[in-house]
Structure 1
Amino acid sequence: METPPAPQFDPIKYKQTTHDQWQTAAEAWHRWSPTLNQWLGKATDAMIDMAGITTGHRVLDVAAGAGEQSITVARKVGSTGYVLATDIAPAILEFAQQMARQAGLTNIETKVMDGENLTLPDASFDVVISRVGLIYFPDQQRALTEMLRVLKPGGKIAAIVYSTPDKNKFFSIPVSIIRNRAKLPPPLPGQPGPFSLGGEGVIETAFTQAGFKNVQAVRIDSPLELPSAAECVRFEKESFGALHQMLSSLSDQEKESVWDEITKELKNFESENGFVGPCEMIVAVGEKA
Protein backbone atom coordinates (compact mmCIF):
# COMPACT_ATOMS: atom_id res chain seq x y z
CA MET A 1 0.00 0.00 0.00
CA GLU A 2 1.42 3.34 -1.06
CA THR A 3 2.00 6.10 1.45
CA PRO A 4 -0.27 9.04 0.66
CA PRO A 5 1.67 12.07 -0.56
CA ALA A 6 2.59 14.58 2.14
CA PRO A 7 0.28 17.60 2.18
CA GLN A 8 1.63 20.51 0.16
CA PHE A 9 1.52 24.16 1.11
CA ASP A 10 -0.86 26.03 -1.20
CA PRO A 11 0.49 29.59 -1.64
CA ILE A 12 -2.49 30.81 -3.70
CA LYS A 13 -5.04 29.70 -1.12
CA TYR A 14 -2.83 31.07 1.68
CA LYS A 15 -2.58 34.48 0.00
CA GLN A 16 -6.35 34.68 -0.45
CA THR A 17 -6.86 33.75 3.21
CA THR A 18 -4.32 36.41 4.26
CA HIS A 19 -6.14 39.03 2.18
CA ASP A 20 -9.45 38.07 3.81
CA GLN A 21 -7.94 38.09 7.32
CA TRP A 22 -6.62 41.61 6.95
CA GLN A 23 -9.78 42.89 5.35
CA THR A 24 -11.55 41.69 8.51
CA ALA A 25 -8.89 42.77 11.04
CA ALA A 26 -8.22 46.19 9.44
CA GLU A 27 -10.38 48.26 11.78
CA ALA A 28 -9.01 46.57 14.90
CA TRP A 29 -5.38 46.87 13.75
CA HIS A 30 -5.94 50.59 13.21
CA ARG A 31 -7.72 50.98 16.55
CA TRP A 32 -4.76 49.40 18.34
CA SER A 33 -2.29 51.81 16.64
CA PRO A 34 -1.21 53.46 19.94
CA THR A 35 -0.34 50.01 21.35
CA LEU A 36 1.50 49.08 18.14
CA ASN A 37 3.43 52.35 18.25
CA GLN A 38 4.51 51.81 21.84
CA TRP A 39 5.35 48.11 21.32
CA LEU A 40 7.17 48.40 17.97
CA GLY A 41 8.42 51.98 18.28
CA LYS A 42 11.96 51.06 19.32
CA ALA A 43 12.35 48.54 16.48
CA THR A 44 10.79 51.01 13.99
CA ASP A 45 13.26 53.73 15.00
CA ALA A 46 16.12 51.25 14.55
CA MET A 47 14.79 50.27 11.12
CA ILE A 48 14.65 53.94 10.03
CA ASP A 49 18.17 54.61 11.37
CA MET A 50 19.73 51.47 9.85
CA ALA A 51 18.12 52.22 6.48
CA GLY A 52 19.56 55.74 6.61
CA ILE A 53 16.17 57.30 5.78
CA THR A 54 16.52 61.05 5.50
CA THR A 55 14.99 64.20 3.99
CA GLY A 56 14.03 63.85 0.33
CA HIS A 57 14.12 60.04 0.18
CA ARG A 58 11.57 58.02 -1.80
CA VAL A 59 10.48 55.14 0.45
CA LEU A 60 8.38 52.09 -0.38
CA ASP A 61 6.57 50.43 2.56
CA VAL A 62 5.62 46.83 1.66
CA ALA A 63 2.82 45.18 3.69
CA ALA A 64 2.28 48.56 5.36
CA GLY A 65 -0.93 47.61 7.17
CA ALA A 66 -2.68 50.58 8.76
CA GLY A 67 0.43 52.62 8.00
CA GLU A 68 1.47 53.87 11.44
CA GLN A 69 5.15 53.37 10.54
CA SER A 70 4.54 54.86 7.05
CA ILE A 71 3.39 58.08 8.75
CA THR A 72 6.57 58.14 10.88
CA VAL A 73 8.68 57.76 7.72
CA ALA A 74 6.67 60.40 5.82
CA ARG A 75 7.48 62.91 8.56
CA LYS A 76 11.16 61.91 8.37
CA VAL A 77 11.52 62.37 4.58
CA GLY A 78 9.68 65.72 4.66
CA SER A 79 7.89 67.57 1.89
CA THR A 80 10.63 66.84 -0.67
CA GLY A 81 10.39 63.10 0.04
CA TYR A 82 7.71 60.55 -0.82
CA VAL A 83 6.28 57.40 0.80
CA LEU A 84 4.24 54.75 -1.01
CA ALA A 85 2.44 52.44 1.44
CA THR A 86 1.34 49.15 -0.16
CA ASP A 87 -0.64 46.21 1.15
CA ILE A 88 -2.64 43.27 -0.18
CA ALA A 89 -5.80 44.35 1.69
CA PRO A 90 -7.60 47.53 0.51
CA ALA A 91 -9.53 47.96 3.80
CA ILE A 92 -6.39 48.36 5.90
CA LEU A 93 -4.90 50.95 3.50
CA GLU A 94 -8.02 53.09 3.93
CA PHE A 95 -6.94 53.59 7.55
CA ALA A 96 -3.42 54.52 6.39
CA GLN A 97 -4.94 57.19 4.13
CA GLN A 98 -7.12 58.42 7.00
CA MET A 99 -4.10 58.69 9.33
CA ALA A 100 -2.14 60.61 6.66
CA ARG A 101 -5.01 63.08 6.20
CA GLN A 102 -5.35 63.57 9.95
CA ALA A 103 -1.60 64.21 10.18
CA GLY A 104 -1.82 66.75 7.35
CA LEU A 105 0.71 64.84 5.25
CA THR A 106 0.61 65.18 1.45
CA ASN A 107 3.81 63.23 0.69
CA ILE A 108 2.32 59.77 1.24
CA GLU A 109 0.20 57.62 -1.07
CA THR A 110 -1.33 54.17 -0.71
CA LYS A 111 -1.74 51.45 -3.32
CA VAL A 112 -3.12 47.92 -3.17
CA MET A 113 -0.26 45.70 -4.25
CA ASP A 114 1.06 42.16 -3.81
CA GLY A 115 4.57 42.37 -2.37
CA GLU A 116 5.66 39.46 -4.57
CA ASN A 117 4.58 41.35 -7.71
CA LEU A 118 5.44 45.01 -7.30
CA THR A 119 3.87 46.92 -10.19
CA LEU A 120 6.55 49.60 -9.99
CA PRO A 121 9.44 50.68 -12.22
CA ASP A 122 12.98 49.42 -11.70
CA ALA A 123 15.32 51.55 -9.57
CA SER A 124 12.59 53.95 -8.42
CA PHE A 125 13.07 54.03 -4.61
CA ASP A 126 15.89 54.93 -2.23
CA VAL A 127 14.65 52.64 0.55
CA VAL A 128 12.22 49.73 0.93
CA ILE A 129 10.87 48.89 4.39
CA SER A 130 8.62 46.12 5.69
CA ARG A 131 7.51 45.92 9.33
CA VAL A 132 6.37 42.44 10.43
CA GLY A 133 5.25 41.71 6.86
CA LEU A 134 7.93 39.66 5.10
CA ILE A 135 7.35 36.68 7.44
CA TYR A 136 3.88 36.16 5.94
CA PHE A 137 4.90 36.09 2.27
CA PRO A 138 4.50 32.63 0.70
CA ASP A 139 7.54 33.25 -1.54
CA GLN A 140 9.89 35.38 0.53
CA GLN A 141 12.69 35.17 -2.06
CA ARG A 142 10.42 36.47 -4.78
CA ALA A 143 9.34 39.36 -2.55
CA LEU A 144 12.97 40.21 -1.73
CA THR A 145 14.11 40.11 -5.35
CA GLU A 146 11.21 42.40 -6.26
CA MET A 147 12.28 44.82 -3.52
CA LEU A 148 15.85 44.67 -4.86
CA ARG A 149 14.60 45.41 -8.39
CA VAL A 150 12.72 48.60 -7.42
CA LEU A 151 15.65 49.97 -5.40
CA LYS A 152 18.10 52.45 -6.88
CA PRO A 153 21.76 51.35 -6.87
CA GLY A 154 23.06 51.89 -3.33
CA GLY A 155 19.50 51.84 -1.99
CA LYS A 156 18.66 49.90 1.15
CA ILE A 157 16.08 47.40 2.36
CA ALA A 158 15.16 47.25 6.05
CA ALA A 159 12.74 44.78 7.62
CA ILE A 160 11.44 43.93 11.08
CA VAL A 161 10.63 40.30 11.91
CA TYR A 162 10.03 38.25 15.08
CA SER A 163 12.98 36.24 16.38
CA THR A 164 12.37 32.75 17.81
CA PRO A 165 9.26 31.38 19.63
CA ASP A 166 11.10 31.10 22.97
CA LYS A 167 11.79 34.88 22.89
CA ASN A 168 8.21 35.77 21.86
CA LYS A 169 6.03 33.93 24.33
CA PHE A 170 3.21 36.50 24.22
CA PHE A 171 2.57 35.15 20.68
CA SER A 172 4.11 31.65 20.62
CA ILE A 173 2.09 30.45 23.64
CA PRO A 174 -1.28 31.26 21.97
CA VAL A 175 -0.03 29.67 18.70
CA SER A 176 1.03 26.52 20.56
CA ILE A 177 -2.25 26.23 22.52
CA ILE A 178 -4.37 26.76 19.39
CA ARG A 179 -2.29 24.28 17.38
CA ASN A 180 -2.78 21.69 20.12
CA ARG A 181 -6.51 22.28 20.68
CA ALA A 182 -7.38 22.49 16.97
CA LYS A 183 -5.19 19.40 16.32
CA LEU A 184 -3.25 21.22 13.62
CA PRO A 185 -0.23 19.56 12.03
CA PRO A 186 3.15 21.27 12.30
CA PRO A 187 3.79 23.96 9.67
CA LEU A 188 4.69 22.53 6.25
CA PRO A 189 8.20 23.07 4.88
CA GLY A 190 8.45 26.50 3.31
CA GLN A 191 5.26 27.68 4.95
CA PRO A 192 5.37 31.32 6.04
CA GLY A 193 4.52 32.36 9.58
CA PRO A 194 5.50 34.61 12.47
CA PHE A 195 8.80 32.88 13.26
CA SER A 196 9.80 31.87 9.72
CA LEU A 197 12.77 34.28 9.60
CA GLY A 198 13.66 34.30 13.29
CA GLY A 199 16.35 31.64 13.58
CA GLU A 200 20.04 32.46 13.90
CA GLY A 201 21.29 33.85 10.58
CA VAL A 202 18.08 33.03 8.67
CA ILE A 203 17.08 36.53 7.58
CA GLU A 204 20.71 37.44 6.79
CA THR A 205 20.92 34.39 4.51
CA ALA A 206 17.60 35.28 2.85
CA PHE A 207 18.78 38.84 2.11
CA THR A 208 22.15 37.64 0.77
CA GLN A 209 20.50 34.96 -1.39
CA ALA A 210 18.24 37.63 -2.94
CA GLY A 211 21.30 39.66 -3.95
CA PHE A 212 21.69 42.22 -1.16
CA LYS A 213 25.15 43.27 0.05
CA ASN A 214 26.43 44.51 3.44
CA VAL A 215 23.67 42.60 5.22
CA GLN A 216 23.43 43.01 8.98
CA ALA A 217 20.82 42.36 11.66
CA VAL A 218 20.27 43.41 15.25
CA ARG A 219 17.98 41.95 17.90
CA ILE A 220 15.83 44.38 19.85
CA ASP A 221 14.00 43.62 23.08
CA SER A 222 10.41 44.71 22.37
CA PRO A 223 8.19 43.76 25.33
CA LEU A 224 4.46 44.14 24.80
CA GLU A 225 3.29 46.13 27.81
CA LEU A 226 -0.43 46.24 28.61
CA PRO A 227 -2.55 46.63 31.77
CA SER A 228 -3.30 42.88 32.00
CA ALA A 229 -3.03 39.48 30.32
CA ALA A 230 -6.73 39.78 29.48
CA GLU A 231 -5.97 42.98 27.55
CA CYS A 232 -3.20 41.19 25.64
CA VAL A 233 -5.67 38.45 24.71
CA ARG A 234 -8.16 41.10 23.57
CA PHE A 235 -5.46 42.67 21.38
CA GLU A 236 -4.57 39.31 19.81
CA LYS A 237 -8.19 38.19 19.52
CA GLU A 238 -9.21 41.36 17.70
CA SER A 239 -6.26 41.99 15.45
CA PHE A 240 -4.09 38.88 14.93
CA GLY A 241 -5.77 37.41 11.85
CA ALA A 242 -3.46 34.40 11.72
CA LEU A 243 -4.80 33.12 15.05
CA HIS A 244 -8.38 33.27 13.78
CA GLN A 245 -7.42 31.24 10.74
CA MET A 246 -5.89 28.57 13.00
CA LEU A 247 -9.09 28.49 15.10
CA SER A 248 -11.49 28.27 12.16
CA SER A 249 -12.29 24.54 12.53
CA LEU A 250 -13.48 24.92 16.16
CA SER A 251 -16.99 25.72 17.39
CA ASP A 252 -17.66 29.07 19.08
CA GLN A 253 -17.76 27.30 22.46
CA GLU A 254 -14.42 25.59 21.81
CA LYS A 255 -12.89 28.90 20.67
CA GLU A 256 -13.91 30.60 23.92
CA SER A 257 -12.40 27.71 25.87
CA VAL A 258 -9.13 28.13 23.94
CA TRP A 259 -9.02 31.89 24.65
CA ASP A 260 -9.64 31.14 28.34
CA GLU A 261 -6.66 28.75 28.36
CA ILE A 262 -4.48 31.34 26.61
CA THR A 263 -5.48 34.01 29.16
CA LYS A 264 -4.61 31.65 32.01
CA GLU A 265 -1.15 30.91 30.56
CA LEU A 266 -0.38 34.56 29.77
CA LYS A 267 -1.20 35.54 33.36
CA ASN A 268 2.30 34.22 34.14
CA PHE A 269 3.60 37.50 32.68
CA GLU A 270 1.38 39.64 34.88
CA SER A 271 2.55 41.47 38.01
CA GLU A 272 1.29 44.33 40.15
CA ASN A 273 2.78 46.60 37.45
CA GLY A 274 0.64 45.06 34.69
CA PHE A 275 1.37 42.66 31.83
CA VAL A 276 4.78 42.46 30.15
CA GLY A 277 4.74 40.01 27.24
CA PRO A 278 8.19 38.76 26.21
CA CYS A 279 9.01 39.78 22.64
CA GLU A 280 12.21 40.10 20.63
CA MET A 281 12.35 41.64 17.17
CA ILE A 282 15.08 41.42 14.55
CA VAL A 283 15.81 44.46 12.40
CA ALA A 284 17.72 43.48 9.26
CA VAL A 285 19.19 45.75 6.61
CA GLY A 286 20.79 45.12 3.20
CA GLU A 287 22.07 47.23 0.32
CA LYS A 288 21.72 47.09 -3.46
CA ALA A 289 25.11 47.10 -5.17
Structure 2
Amino acid sequence: MSTTFDPVAFKSTTRTQWESAAEAWHRWGPAVESWLGEATERMLDDVHLTAGSRVLDVAAGAGGQTLAAARRVGPTGHVLATDISPAILEFAAAEAARAGLDTVATLEADGEDLSAVADGSVDAAISRVGLIYFPDQRRALGEIRRTLRPGGRISAVVYSTPERNGFFSIPVGIIRRVAGLPAPGPGLPGPFSLGGPGVAEAAYVDAGLVDVSVTPVPSPVRLASAAECVRFEQESFGALHQMLSGLDEGARDDAWAEIEEALGQFDGPDGFVGPCEMLVVSGTRP
Protein backbone atom coordinates (compact mmCIF):
# COMPACT_ATOMS: atom_id res chain seq x y z
CA MET A 1 0.00 0.00 0.00
CA SER A 2 1.33 3.44 -0.91
CA THR A 3 2.11 5.78 1.96
CA THR A 4 2.29 8.85 -0.28
CA PHE A 5 0.27 11.67 1.23
CA ASP A 6 -2.74 12.64 -0.88
CA PRO A 7 -3.96 16.12 0.10
CA VAL A 8 -7.17 15.85 -1.94
CA ALA A 9 -8.15 12.59 -0.26
CA PHE A 10 -7.15 14.01 3.14
CA LYS A 11 -9.42 17.03 2.68
CA SER A 12 -12.30 14.87 1.49
CA THR A 13 -11.98 12.60 4.52
CA THR A 14 -11.61 15.58 6.84
CA ARG A 15 -14.79 17.13 5.50
CA THR A 16 -16.69 13.86 5.86
CA GLN A 17 -15.50 13.31 9.41
CA TRP A 18 -16.41 16.84 10.51
CA GLU A 19 -19.81 16.51 8.86
CA SER A 20 -20.28 13.45 11.07
CA ALA A 21 -18.82 15.01 14.24
CA ALA A 22 -20.48 18.44 13.87
CA GLU A 23 -23.41 17.78 16.21
CA ALA A 24 -21.18 16.33 18.92
CA TRP A 25 -18.63 19.17 18.72
CA HIS A 26 -21.53 21.61 19.11
CA ARG A 27 -23.04 19.60 21.98
CA TRP A 28 -19.72 19.60 23.82
CA GLY A 29 -19.49 23.37 23.30
CA PRO A 30 -19.47 24.34 27.00
CA ALA A 31 -16.55 21.96 27.64
CA VAL A 32 -14.71 23.30 24.59
CA GLU A 33 -15.13 26.92 25.70
CA SER A 34 -13.99 26.08 29.23
CA TRP A 35 -10.93 24.31 27.84
CA LEU A 36 -9.99 26.85 25.14
CA GLY A 37 -11.44 30.01 26.70
CA GLU A 38 -8.17 31.53 27.89
CA ALA A 39 -6.36 30.84 24.61
CA THR A 40 -9.33 32.24 22.68
CA GLU A 41 -9.29 35.48 24.65
CA ARG A 42 -5.56 35.84 24.02
CA MET A 43 -6.10 35.21 20.30
CA LEU A 44 -8.76 37.92 20.16
CA ASP A 45 -6.57 40.31 22.16
CA ASP A 46 -3.69 39.74 19.76
CA VAL A 47 -5.65 40.80 16.66
CA HIS A 48 -6.60 44.09 18.35
CA LEU A 49 -10.34 43.86 17.79
CA THR A 50 -12.26 47.07 18.28
CA ALA A 51 -15.80 48.25 17.61
CA GLY A 52 -16.44 47.99 13.87
CA SER A 53 -13.61 45.55 13.07
CA ARG A 54 -14.12 43.18 10.12
CA VAL A 55 -13.02 39.67 11.10
CA LEU A 56 -12.37 36.48 9.12
CA ASP A 57 -12.63 33.23 11.10
CA VAL A 58 -10.94 30.36 9.22
CA ALA A 59 -11.91 26.77 10.09
CA ALA A 60 -14.50 28.22 12.42
CA GLY A 61 -16.19 24.96 13.37
CA ALA A 62 -19.29 25.41 15.54
CA GLY A 63 -18.31 29.01 16.14
CA GLY A 64 -17.54 29.51 19.82
CA GLN A 65 -14.72 31.90 18.99
CA THR A 66 -16.81 33.41 16.17
CA LEU A 67 -19.42 34.57 18.66
CA ALA A 68 -16.75 35.85 21.05
CA ALA A 69 -15.27 37.94 18.22
CA ALA A 70 -18.71 39.24 17.21
CA ARG A 71 -19.37 40.43 20.74
CA ARG A 72 -16.09 42.32 20.74
CA VAL A 73 -16.62 44.10 17.42
CA GLY A 74 -20.18 45.08 18.26
CA PRO A 75 -23.11 45.98 16.01
CA THR A 76 -20.95 47.95 13.57
CA GLY A 77 -18.46 45.10 13.05
CA HIS A 78 -18.70 41.94 10.99
CA VAL A 79 -17.44 38.35 11.37
CA LEU A 80 -17.29 35.88 8.48
CA ALA A 81 -16.98 32.27 9.66
CA THR A 82 -15.60 29.85 7.08
CA ASP A 83 -15.21 26.08 7.28
CA ILE A 84 -14.85 23.10 4.97
CA SER A 85 -17.88 21.47 6.66
CA PRO A 86 -21.27 23.03 5.92
CA ALA A 87 -22.93 20.97 8.66
CA ILE A 88 -20.78 22.46 11.40
CA LEU A 89 -21.34 25.98 10.04
CA GLU A 90 -25.07 25.45 10.45
CA PHE A 91 -24.49 25.19 14.20
CA ALA A 92 -22.38 28.36 14.17
CA ALA A 93 -25.10 30.24 12.30
CA ALA A 94 -27.82 28.95 14.63
CA GLU A 95 -25.87 29.95 17.73
CA ALA A 96 -25.23 33.44 16.32
CA ALA A 97 -28.94 33.85 15.58
CA ARG A 98 -29.87 32.58 19.05
CA ALA A 99 -27.49 35.15 20.57
CA GLY A 100 -28.93 37.95 18.44
CA LEU A 101 -25.59 38.47 16.66
CA ASP A 102 -26.76 39.45 13.18
CA THR A 103 -23.26 40.61 12.25
CA VAL A 104 -22.11 36.99 11.78
CA ALA A 105 -22.14 35.36 8.34
CA THR A 106 -20.98 31.88 7.32
CA LEU A 107 -19.32 30.60 4.16
CA GLU A 108 -18.38 27.06 3.18
CA ALA A 109 -14.77 27.44 2.06
CA ASP A 110 -11.48 25.58 2.04
CA GLY A 111 -8.98 27.53 4.14
CA GLU A 112 -6.45 27.14 1.32
CA ASP A 113 -8.83 28.81 -1.15
CA LEU A 114 -10.50 31.94 0.22
CA SER A 115 -11.12 33.41 -3.22
CA ALA A 116 -14.63 34.47 -2.18
CA VAL A 117 -13.03 36.92 0.27
CA ALA A 118 -11.68 40.07 -1.37
CA ASP A 119 -8.08 41.23 -1.07
CA GLY A 120 -7.49 43.48 1.92
CA SER A 121 -11.11 43.30 3.01
CA VAL A 122 -10.68 42.33 6.68
CA ASP A 123 -8.98 43.94 9.65
CA ALA A 124 -8.27 40.69 11.48
CA ALA A 125 -8.21 36.93 10.90
CA ILE A 126 -8.47 34.20 13.51
CA SER A 127 -8.29 30.41 13.45
CA ARG A 128 -8.79 28.15 16.46
CA VAL A 129 -7.33 24.65 16.21
CA GLY A 130 -7.74 24.66 12.43
CA LEU A 131 -4.50 25.72 10.76
CA ILE A 132 -2.72 22.58 12.00
CA TYR A 133 -4.93 20.39 9.79
CA PHE A 134 -4.39 22.20 6.47
CA PRO A 135 -2.32 20.09 4.06
CA ASP A 136 -0.72 23.25 2.64
CA GLN A 137 -0.31 25.58 5.61
CA ARG A 138 1.83 27.98 3.58
CA ARG A 139 -0.94 28.40 1.04
CA ALA A 140 -3.54 28.86 3.78
CA LEU A 141 -1.47 31.53 5.52
CA GLY A 142 -0.86 33.23 2.18
CA GLU A 143 -4.59 33.30 1.50
CA ILE A 144 -5.29 34.72 4.95
CA ARG A 145 -2.56 37.33 4.48
CA ARG A 146 -4.12 38.36 1.16
CA THR A 147 -7.49 39.01 2.76
CA LEU A 148 -5.99 41.25 5.45
CA ARG A 149 -5.64 44.99 4.97
CA PRO A 150 -2.08 46.31 5.39
CA GLY A 151 -1.45 46.36 9.12
CA GLY A 152 -4.17 43.76 9.70
CA ARG A 153 -3.50 41.01 12.21
CA ILE A 154 -3.80 37.23 12.19
CA SER A 155 -3.82 35.00 15.26
CA ALA A 156 -4.23 31.23 15.45
CA VAL A 157 -4.55 28.81 18.35
CA VAL A 158 -2.56 25.59 17.82
CA TYR A 159 -1.29 22.76 20.01
CA SER A 160 2.26 22.91 21.28
CA THR A 161 4.28 19.68 21.53
CA PRO A 162 2.96 16.16 22.24
CA GLU A 163 4.84 16.11 25.53
CA ARG A 164 2.73 19.02 26.80
CA ASN A 165 -0.57 17.65 25.52
CA GLY A 166 -0.99 14.25 27.11
CA PHE A 167 -4.79 14.33 26.97
CA PHE A 168 -4.53 14.21 23.15
CA SER A 169 -1.08 12.82 22.36
CA ILE A 170 -1.70 9.64 24.36
CA PRO A 171 -4.83 8.74 22.34
CA VAL A 172 -3.08 9.71 19.10
CA GLY A 173 -0.11 7.49 19.97
CA ILE A 174 -2.29 4.50 20.84
CA ILE A 175 -4.37 4.86 17.67
CA ARG A 176 -1.27 5.19 15.49
CA ARG A 177 0.16 2.01 16.95
CA VAL A 178 -3.07 0.03 16.71
CA ALA A 179 -3.85 1.24 13.18
CA GLY A 180 -0.26 0.96 11.97
CA LEU A 181 -0.08 4.63 11.07
CA PRO A 182 3.28 6.44 10.90
CA ALA A 183 3.70 9.82 12.56
CA PRO A 184 3.20 12.61 10.03
CA GLY A 185 6.44 13.88 8.57
CA PRO A 186 7.56 17.52 8.68
CA GLY A 187 5.21 19.77 6.77
CA LEU A 188 2.28 17.34 6.86
CA PRO A 189 -0.97 18.14 8.68
CA GLY A 190 -1.60 16.86 12.19
CA PRO A 191 -2.43 18.09 15.68
CA PHE A 192 1.17 18.90 16.59
CA SER A 193 2.36 20.08 13.17
CA LEU A 194 3.06 23.65 14.35
CA GLY A 195 4.04 22.92 17.94
CA GLY A 196 7.79 22.39 17.67
CA PRO A 197 10.24 25.15 18.62
CA GLY A 198 10.32 27.80 15.90
CA VAL A 199 7.98 25.93 13.51
CA ALA A 200 4.98 28.23 13.75
CA GLU A 201 7.14 31.37 13.62
CA ALA A 202 8.88 30.10 10.49
CA ALA A 203 5.54 29.33 8.82
CA TYR A 204 4.29 32.86 9.45
CA VAL A 205 7.49 34.52 8.28
CA ASP A 206 7.52 32.33 5.17
CA ALA A 207 4.00 33.57 4.40
CA GLY A 208 5.19 37.19 4.50
CA LEU A 209 3.92 38.09 7.97
CA VAL A 210 5.86 40.28 10.38
CA ASP A 211 5.81 41.07 14.12
CA VAL A 212 5.32 37.37 14.76
CA SER A 213 4.78 36.27 18.35
CA VAL A 214 4.09 32.92 19.98
CA THR A 215 2.45 32.80 23.42
CA PRO A 216 2.08 29.49 25.31
CA VAL A 217 -1.23 29.24 27.17
CA PRO A 218 -1.76 26.45 29.73
CA SER A 219 -5.13 24.92 28.78
CA PRO A 220 -5.83 21.88 30.96
CA VAL A 221 -8.86 19.81 30.01
CA ARG A 222 -11.05 19.58 33.11
CA LEU A 223 -13.80 16.99 33.06
CA ALA A 224 -15.44 14.66 35.57
CA SER A 225 -13.31 11.64 34.71
CA ALA A 226 -11.07 9.99 32.15
CA ALA A 227 -14.16 8.16 30.90
CA GLU A 228 -15.83 11.50 30.17
CA CYS A 229 -12.72 12.70 28.33
CA VAL A 230 -12.85 9.57 26.19
CA ARG A 231 -16.51 10.26 25.38
CA PHE A 232 -15.59 13.84 24.45
CA GLU A 233 -12.79 12.72 22.12
CA GLN A 234 -14.66 9.69 20.78
CA GLU A 235 -17.72 11.72 19.84
CA SER A 236 -16.27 14.99 18.62
CA PHE A 237 -12.59 14.81 17.61
CA GLY A 238 -12.62 14.52 13.83
CA ALA A 239 -8.89 13.84 13.63
CA LEU A 240 -9.20 10.71 15.79
CA HIS A 241 -12.17 9.49 13.76
CA GLN A 242 -10.07 9.92 10.65
CA MET A 243 -7.17 7.92 12.08
CA LEU A 244 -9.49 5.10 13.18
CA SER A 245 -11.37 4.87 9.89
CA GLY A 246 -9.37 1.89 8.61
CA LEU A 247 -10.14 -0.32 11.64
CA ASP A 248 -13.15 -2.56 12.16
CA GLU A 249 -15.59 -1.86 14.99
CA GLY A 250 -14.01 -4.33 17.39
CA ALA A 251 -10.53 -2.90 16.91
CA ARG A 252 -11.89 0.62 17.39
CA ASP A 253 -13.59 -0.41 20.63
CA ASP A 254 -10.38 -2.01 21.88
CA ALA A 255 -8.41 1.14 21.07
CA TRP A 256 -10.84 3.36 23.01
CA ALA A 257 -10.69 0.98 25.99
CA GLU A 258 -6.90 1.20 26.00
CA ILE A 259 -7.10 5.01 25.71
CA GLU A 260 -9.45 5.25 28.70
CA GLU A 261 -7.12 3.11 30.80
CA ALA A 262 -4.10 5.25 29.83
CA LEU A 263 -5.89 8.54 30.49
CA GLY A 264 -6.88 7.29 33.94
CA GLN A 265 -3.52 8.54 35.19
CA PHE A 266 -4.97 12.07 35.04
CA ASP A 267 -7.94 11.27 37.29
CA GLY A 268 -7.69 12.73 40.77
CA PRO A 269 -9.67 14.14 43.70
CA ASP A 270 -10.75 17.10 41.55
CA GLY A 271 -11.77 14.93 38.61
CA PHE A 272 -9.92 14.58 35.33
CA VAL A 273 -7.25 17.20 34.59
CA GLY A 274 -5.71 16.45 31.22
CA PRO A 275 -2.40 18.17 30.39
CA CYS A 276 -2.71 20.59 27.48
CA GLU A 277 -0.75 23.60 26.27
CA MET A 278 -1.91 25.74 23.37
CA LEU A 279 0.15 28.27 21.45
CA VAL A 280 -1.33 31.55 20.29
CA VAL A 281 0.58 32.46 17.14
CA SER A 282 0.09 36.01 15.88
CA GLY A 283 1.47 38.23 13.11
CA THR A 284 0.83 41.28 10.95
CA ARG A 285 0.43 41.85 7.24
CA PRO A 286 3.02 44.51 6.35
- TM-score, normalised with respect to structure 1: 0.97
**Which of residues 210, 213, 218 in structure 2 aligns to 1:213?**
210
Q: Distance in 2 between matches of 1:237 and 1:99?
A: 23
CA 1:125–1:105: 2 relative to 1, 3 Å: same
Q: Distance in 2 between matches of 1:113 and 1:151?
A: 17
Q: Is 2:39 the partner of 1:43?
A: yes
Give the corresponding residue for 1:256: 253
Give the corresponding residue for 2:97: 101
Q: Distance in 2 between matches of 1:154 and 1:184?
A: 42
Q: Structure 1 residue 246: deviation in Å?
A: 1.3
Instruction: Say what the alpha-carbon RMSD is for the aligned residues.
Output: 1.1
User: Unpaired segments of 5 or more residues in structure 1?
Assistant: none
Q: Distance in 2 between matches of 1:112 and 1:248?
A: 24
- Runs of 4+ off more than 4 Å: none
Q: Structure 1 residue 120: deviation in Å?
A: 1.2
Q: Structure 1 residue 52: deviation in Å?
A: 0.7
For 1:23-172, what aligned pairs fall within 5 Å after superposition? 23-118=19-114, 119-172=116-169
Q: Is 2:251 the partner of 1:269?
A: no
Q: 2:196 is matched by which residue type in structure 1?
A: G
Say if 1:237 and 1:244, in contact at 8 Å, map to a contact too. Answer: yes
Q: Tell me the matched-pair count.
A: 285
Say if 1:8 and 1:188, in contact at 8 Å, map to a contact too. Answer: no
Q: 2:91 is matched by which residue type in structure 1?
A: F
Q: Is 2:198 the partner of 1:201?
A: yes
Q: Structure 1 residue 51: deviation in Å?
A: 1.1
Give CA-to-partner distance per residue, 1:186-238, whole Å, 9 cap, x none.
32443200000000111111001100011111000000000000000000000
User: SS of 1:28's equivalent?
Assistant: helix
**Which of residues 274, 278, 281 in structure 2 aligns to 1:281?**
278
Q: Distance in 2 between matches of 1:186 and 1:124?
A: 38
User: Unpaired segments of 5 or more residues in structure 2?
Assistant: none
Say if 2:19 and 2:88, in contact at 8 Å, map to a contact too. Answer: yes
- TM-score, normalised with respect to structure 2: 0.98
Q: Structure 1 residue 185: deviation in Å?
A: 2.4
Q: 1:38 is matched by which residue type in structure 2?
A: S
- Identity of matched residues, %: 58
Q: Structure 1 residue 249: deviation in Å?
A: 2.1
